[in-house]
Amino acid sequence: MSGVTTRPFRRLVKELNPGAVGLVVSEFVSVEGMTRGSQRTLEMMRFSEEERPYCVQIFGYDVARMTDAALMVQDFGADIVDINCGCPAPKVVKRGGGCELMRQPDHLKEIIRSVRKAVSIPLTIKIRAGWDEESRNAFEIARMAEGEGVEAVAIHGRTRSQLYRGDADWDLVQEIAEVLSIPVLGSGDVVCRESAKERLKGKVAGLFIGRAALWNPFIFSEILHDQDSRLKGNFDLMLEVLFRYIELLREDFQESSCGGKFKQLASQMCRGALWRKPLLTMNTIGEHEEFLRRVRDGAWKPKGIVEDDVSSEERIDSCDQFATN
């Protein structure tokens, strides 16, 4: 997820779910920025050894730049390079990247073939069901990718035109998994252990979880160990997570950049906490930290009646502003 799965967030998730996360994936990284030497873009690939196995997901259109970027990922030390063919964001598809590649299968085939020849680390792709209901070509794209040497395919069961609305088509994911000889992983609507059980059927090899990790960073271990939610209503635990996230953010980002990233997690994870709304009115990480200390120490009390709850649909909509994968 662009702007979300930064190194601090990935490290937080790994810490909170020991042994339960099979793979972490970078923010998706522009090959234009990578191959033109953008320091900000290159910084997005940074990772810690404790994050392994670690995958860098790249997006773009130009065959040569995609190939060069994949080589950079390999040289950088990542375990896997992934080609994003699923992002629906207009700013990505209008430049030929993301889900637009599914509308140009011959060009995508050329990219995959070139990248596969260039790198020795595993190559995977992320796709959607298709562009729209009239062009659901995930099966054809997945078969082509397998033929070109891709080691695994992740499928988000919505079309590009759906964005994040409606239900993901997991029947499609399972049908493709039955046919391909390489691992097929599913994405979309995995929000708790029950939904994970429902979707991990047949030959589906695994699950990708994105937005739900913002609502509940413990979701991976809860799924693996068949546990109830540790976080729901546990405001002391929320505070522990937030304090640790502040520490991790400060290790990687300037103080001025931490506040917005902190609020991405706090706004989604702290539903139901009476202190959530006043927390989100603050802008700097220092203000957030000081306020949370007051809450933890019992020095803050709500004024009047504070309502802080939204429907699941509203929660998903609010998350879509930064969910791109």
Q: Which fold has domain 7-224?
A: TIM Barrel (3.20.20)
Going from N- to C-terminal start, the domains of the chain cover 7-224, 235-319
Per-residue model confidence (pLDDT) at position 218: 97
> So what's the pLDDT on residue 2?
80
Q: Give the sheet arrangement for strand 184-187, strand by strand.
A: 24-30, 54-59, 80-85, 123-130, 152-159, 184-187, 206-208
- Which of 85, 87, 99, 319 is catalytic? The answer is 87
Given a cut of 50, whether residue 313 has pLDDT beyond it is no
Q: What is the pLDDT of residues 12-51, one digit of tens each?
A: 999 999 999 999 999 999 999 999 999 999 999 999 999 9
Q: Are 107 and 115 in contact (CB under 8 A)?
A: no
Please name the residues in contact with 116: beta carbons below 8 A apart, sequence gap of 6 or more: 123, 148, 149, 150
Position 319 scores a pLDDT of 36
* Predicted TM-score of the model (pTM): 0.89
3-state secondary structure of 54: strand
Least confident of 104-108, 229-233, 239-243, 319-323: 319-323
User: What pLDDT score does 315 carry?
Assistant: 40
Judge contact between 142 and 180, C-beta under 8 A: yes
Tell me if residue 270 is catalytic: no
Residue 321 has pLDDT above 60, yes or no: no
Q: What is the pLDDT of residue 40?
A: 92
Share the mean pLDDT of the chain.
92
